Amino acid sequence: MTEPKLNTPLISASSRKLPDFKNSIKLKYVKLGYHYLISHGMYLFLSPLVVIFAVQLSTFSIQDLYDLWNNLQYNLISVILSSTLLVFLSTIYFLTRPSPVYLVDFSCYKPDEPRRCTKKKFMDQSRIIDTFTEENLEFQRKILERSGLGDSTYLPEAVLNVPPNPSMKEARKEAEAVMFGAIDELLAKTSVKPKDIGILVVNCSLFNPTPSLSAMIINHYKLRGNIASYNLGGMGCSAGLISIDLAKNLLQVHPNSYALVVSMENITLNWYFGNDRSKLVSNCLFRMGGAAIILSNKCSERRRSKYRLVDTVRTHKGADDKCFSCITQEEDSNGKIGVSLSKELMAVAGVALKTNITTLGPLVLPMSEQLLFFATLVGRKLFKMKVKPYIPDFKLAFEHFCIHAGGRAVLDELEKNLQLSDWHMEPSRMTLYRFGNTSSSSLWYELAYTEAKGRVKKGDRLWQIAFGSGFKCNSAVWKALRTIKPEKEKNPWMHEIDRFPVDVPKVSAI
């Protein structure tokens, strides 16, 4: 396999941008969104009846109510049948409706100062270990300069050592530091006892030891023996939202429970020491980090919880071969393992994103936006009218956006396609700058940034969206149950939030 020239772009110009959503929306995904809405929408049927009954009741006078009572006294059978029907329908409704899922609190791991890695230190380390060619050292430098990462990201000890000493022992050491650090802080914040946790979901794509990461947590915190434990691997940067969706479904069948979700990635054993450029990009972007989240379906937890989970939408494009193979962990020609990023990655991400947001639209957009969108879509698709497609304004559905900080190019294209402002993109861009791409946990660093800025008010709606290998794109929608006061928060941004936002130049010379 010949090495590409230094000046040859890793991703072709046509594949570097997301597809234009305006010209490629498919009706079937809109229909899927409405199917989700109706299948979970029994309240839509009952709400108009309740409103009509309330309006009619408001017109009654005292005499009307007295006359109604007298009439009912002589129609005992009708009263019994009506009451029985009402009780029956109410019972069905309360038994079939999903239990509300609350996000009690979450925490993000902030590594110790010795783990900090500036871009210059990254390049010095890469040069010292003497495994990369001069051309590929220059290639990594150019990627770093344009990556959007700052000089305060973190790498594990095994990678920063000279020479690096990646091993199973060091990988476990990194995993323990990240997982236990995030969980310790979370348990202290919530005062939840480890024995009260009934569900555990852990996700880490590239490090899956035996015993599993979930078993390591159970052993360390002495969790109870009947805990429902799950360990998700190989699911990419969107696995954090898959874990949330899995925990949500488990909470529907385990009443009065707490669910602990841990999202992380492991760098130690997945640092690439070869010279395949498609695998070197991961070295430049991915950094150390993790998050822990506690969810609950307990009614008593609503008062102190931060958010209620409104909806999750999952999209999987793995049936398409190009989508399936665009991110692959494999060996290079010299037998060194790394994660290869296809030139078609941006195009594949665009297709998955388009499907996901088109399905999500009917669930979250206000009716005015849905009517305009649906009318233009039907006109174009069914009546072949030459009208400009209407792209719904998602800013009317959400106050805050947490878009996975996978890289600068993706954030730029999403900002353009969804017509978002710099203010909306700020949490994602600052997370990429301060912590790098921390894989599935990046969404929680972004939410922590939003909270630290004091932006979250009661009733605000939040959209988390991420994508990952396979290829997948997943969304979660949250509603704030209370106003978040920054002075009462403990998260990795708190001691430095006043420095942000910072200006991130297109090219930051090393």
- What are the DSSP calls for 66-85, one per residue? HHHHHHHHT-HHHHHHHHHH
- Side-chain-side CA neighbours of 219 within 13 Å: the count stands at 8
Helix (H, G, I), strand (E, B) or coil at 119: helix
| Catalytic member of 203, 275, 400, 417 | 400
Catalytic residue among 316, 323, 356, 491: 316
What whole-number distance in Å separates Cα of residue 405 and Cα of residue 395?
A: 19
- Catalytic residue status for 237: yes
Rounded to whole angstroms, how far apart are CA atoms 47 and 60?
21
How far is it, in rounded angstroms, from Cα 260 to Cα 283?
29
Active site residue 326: no
Residue 470 near residue 500 (C-beta atoms within 8 A): no
Q: Which of 237, 323, 326, 473 is catalytic?
A: 237
For residue 284, indicate whether it is catalytic: no
Task: Please answer whether residues 302 and 452 qualify as being in contact, where contact means their C-beta atoms are separated by less than 8 angstroms.
Answer: no
CA 173 → CA 41, 170, 177, distances in Å? 47, 5, 6
Catalytic residue among 437, 473, 474, 491: 437
254 catalytic per annotation: no
End-to-end Cα separation, the chain, in angstroms: 30
Decide if 495 is catalytic. Answer: no
Alpha-carbon distance values, 47 to 44, 54, 58, 308 (Å): 5, 11, 16, 21
Task: Determine contact, residues 444/495, Cβ cutoff 8 Å.
Answer: no
- Return the ∠ at Cα 245 (arms to 239 and 250), rounded to 5°: 125
Classify residue 16 as exposed, middle or buried by CB count within 10 Å of its CB (0-12, 13-18, 19+).
Answer: middle
What are the residue numbers of the active site? 237, 316, 400, 404, 437
